[in-house]
Structure 1
Amino acid sequence: MEIPADIKPFDGRFVDGKHYFATRIYFEDTDFSGIVYHANYLRYMERARSDMLRLLDMDQRAAYESGEGVYAVVDLTMKYLLPAKLNDDLIVISTVETLRAASVIIDQKIMRGSDHIMSASVHAAFLTPAGRPRRQPKAWTKAFASVMDQADTK
């Protein structure tokens, strides 16, 4: 069976320097009360950040496999505002807020239409395979700076 070439996961897209990533709530995402289990929001945000990096041509697996380094979350703050429920369509909006030589802070919010479901700030450091901070690849910091500039001008 041949699979059509245009069938692939949706990576989201950038609009005015912000990355928009769509996801839907399935039964497996909910707890016994029918609302999204709190830790699952971390999954949605991780997927959005990973796909944002893919769109910026940042190959995390290649950086890891070559021994260049990996990102690790070193600080995370989250605020839950409203519950998401089965079959809700959500949008994760990611904005590069702060860029440093060895780290990046990405603000994320999850929306259901005009309802603000949750907010988070994710501080990720770029680390050597031994776990020590190191400068991010220059091409990556340029890509982050580019989307920050786009967001600042809007």
Structure 2
Amino acid sequence: MVAPPPIIVLAFFCGTSIARSASPGPARPAKPAPIAADARHKQLTFRNRPRVVRSGRMRRMNMSTSQPGTEIGYTWPIRVYYEDTDAGGIVFYANYLKFFERARTEWLRACGVDQHRLAEENDAIFIVRSTAVDYRAPARLDDIVKIISRIERLGRASVDFVQEAWREGTLLATGSVRIGCVDRATLRPAAIPPSVLAALRHGPGTSESAD
């Protein structure tokens, strides 16, 4: 069999090459339209929102506040001194924890609980397990701040408080505090003595849901 002339093979090869190059290729995806500036800002803002992490073992305490003029719970007044304020002339945020601590101590005293006797006779003390404060308005020098304390939950070994700081009809801060009873030597959880538990259950500022 005689091979075809080289010129025919070359022509056939070139024609095939031209046909392939002329055939339409795969369609390119359309370029997305540019995001408007305000839409891009919303997307970035959404991505940068902080996550809220909740612990499965901790129950969120009720932070509801009482209405102005309704002093639900045990009330203890505190005057603001220079030492309580910061460079801006307002009460330093951490000092509200001190105010709440003083009010809880006076509440225990009003319940008839002597913490020295609790430690000596039962080898038990109260410690703070967790706390959170929400700040609403500032207090200033010479202000009279009323701390209102009430029990949110009363357990066998712990007590949940809700405390509020008021100046007349203005709510300054709201705090939730969990107090735990522990062994004085080992600092391990211990049951609240029955006599102390009864005093707390019937003391001032104990809500109906505390039992």
Superposition TM-score tier, normalisation by shorter sequence: 0.7 to 0.9
Q: Is the 8 A contact 1:18 1:147 kept in 2?
A: no
Does residue 1:77 correspond to 2:121, yes or no? Answer: no
Fraction of identical pairs, as percent? 31
Does residue 1:118 correspond to 2:173, yes or no? Answer: yes
Which residue is equivalent to 2:116?
A: 61
Higher helix share: 2
Cα distance, 1:151–1:66 mapped onto 2, change above 3 Å: closer
Q: Is the 8 A contact 1:109 1:116 kept in 2?
A: yes
Aligned match for 1:142, one of 174, 192, 198? 198
- Distance, in Å, in 2 between the alignment partners of 1:139 and 1:69 is 13
- Distance, in Å, in 2 between the alignment partners of 1:150 and 1:91 is 18
Task: Give 1:67 deviation, angstroms.
Answer: 5.1
Which residue is equivalent to 1:21?
A: 76
Gapped regions of structure 1 (runs ≥ 5): 1-14
Superposition TM-score, scaled by structure 1 size: 0.83
Cα distance, 1:49–1:148 mapped onto 2, change above 3 Å: closer
CA deviations on 1:84-122 (whole Å, 9 max, x unpaired) are 111111100000110000000011000000100000011
- Distance, in Å, in 2 between the alignment partners of 1:68 and 1:91 is 33
Task: Give 1:147 deviation, angstroms.
Answer: 3.5
Counterpart residue type for residue 132 of structure 1: R
Task: Give 1:146 deviation, angstroms.
Answer: 1.5
Say which SS state the counterpart of residue 83 (structure 2) adopts: helix
Say which SS state the counterpart of residue 72 (structure 1) adopts: strand
Matches within 5 A, 1:44-59: 44-59=99-114
CA deviations on 1:6-57 (whole Å, 9 max, x unpaired) are xxxxxxxxx9871100011011111111000111111111000000001111
Q: Is the 8 A contact 2:71 2:148 kept in 1?
A: no
Superposition TM-score, scaled by structure 2 size: 0.61
Aligned match for 1:105, one of 138, 153, 160? 160
Aligned match for 2:188, one of 114, 132, 140? 132
Does residue 1:36 correspond to 2:88, yes or no? Answer: no
Q: Is the 8 A contact 2:72 2:148 kept in 1?
A: no
- Distance, in Å, in 2 between the alignment partners of 1:31 and 1:16 is 28
- Distance, in Å, in 1 between the alignment partners of 2:117 and 2:196 is 13
CA RMSD of aligned residues (A): 2.1
Task: Give 1:148 deviation, angstroms.
Answer: 7.2
Spell out structure 1 runs of 4+ moving beyond 3 A: 147-152
Task: Give 1:66 deviation, angstroms.
Answer: 3.6
User: Aligned pairs, how many?
Assistant: 139
> Rg bigger for which structure?
2
